[in-house]
């Protein structure tokens, strides 16, 4: 993390344990790095063990603590086993960031059952599985932060992304419901809706499409993964203690 970014937001998460899904690349990796550099021990979760190791190594190189937990985030039994291992290793869970997600873009007449099921399962079922598994430890401690990464596509829809938009809208509904269910245990649950963020996913769009996207965004640029990570840090900190059931949109004014 650059000095410029470090000055933008600083929080102390020392003594806390965080778990981030989709931590092997893009927004998830940026979030894991930010949490690690803020003092939290970070459980890095994704399918790709090699990429996860790169994330954990970067956290360690910056003086933080991280461990990797390769996992199919859609597999209920695997998720339960993962949480047992995390709690055995680190005894607690304070911050859960549900970030794992995929796209299978195509117009609805051409969308296959597999296109639909893969996206809904990865983007929405995984949030349910990780929230259900992690929430008990937080409720026992009477403290926790759950931060779900949704999308502006879940707020306004996006042509060619019926599956993705549906999954991300579902994440918002799940977030708001769980926030109400567990507020009495001092566990907050919030969602972040990124707009167009500069990641491998948007890189694949190519320069011409990116230029068109920038024209639609009032701030005339793509967002940065670190800007999403900064929002996560705020919600995970003591400053975010009175924020729950909310949807924070970071989109450069796209949905304004």
69 tagged catalytic = no
Q: Which of 143, 164, 234, 242 is catalytic?
A: 164
Cα–Cα distance for residue pair 5/7, rounded to 1 Å: 5
144-149 vs 187-194, strand pairing mode: parallel
- Residues identified as active-site: 164
């Amino acid at each position: 993390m650059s000095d410029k970014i470090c000055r933008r937001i600083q929080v102390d998460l020392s003594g806390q344990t965080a778990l981030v899904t989709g931590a092997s690349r893009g927004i998830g990796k940026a979030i894991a790095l930010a949490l690690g550099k803020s003092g939290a021990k970070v459980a890095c979760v994704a399918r790709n063990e090699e990429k996860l190791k790169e994330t954990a190594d970067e956290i360690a190189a910056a003086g933080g603590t991280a461990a990797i937990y390769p996992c199919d985030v859609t597999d209920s039994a695997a998720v339960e086993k993962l949480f047992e291992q995390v709690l055995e290793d680190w005894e607690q869970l304070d911050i859960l960031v549900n970030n794992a997600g995929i796209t299978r873009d195509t117009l609805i007449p051409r969308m296959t059952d597999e296109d639909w099921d893969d996206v809904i399962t990865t983007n929405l079922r995984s949030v349910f599985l990780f929230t259900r598994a992690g929430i008990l430890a937080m409720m026992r401690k009477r403290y926790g932060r759950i931060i779900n990464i949704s999308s502006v596509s879940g707020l306004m829809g996006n042509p060619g992304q019926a599956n993705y938009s549906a999954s991300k809208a579902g994440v918002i509904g799940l977030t708001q419901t769980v926030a109400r269910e567990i507020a009495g245990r001092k566990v907050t649950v919030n969602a972040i809706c990124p707009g167009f963020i500069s990641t491998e996913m948007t890189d694949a769009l190519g320069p011409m499409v990116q230029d068109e996207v920038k024209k639609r965004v009032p701030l005339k640029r793509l967002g940065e993964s670190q800007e999403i990570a900064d929002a996560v840090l705020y919600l995970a900190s003591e400053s975010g203690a009175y924020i729950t059931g909310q949807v924070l949109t970071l989109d450069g004014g796209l949905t304004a």
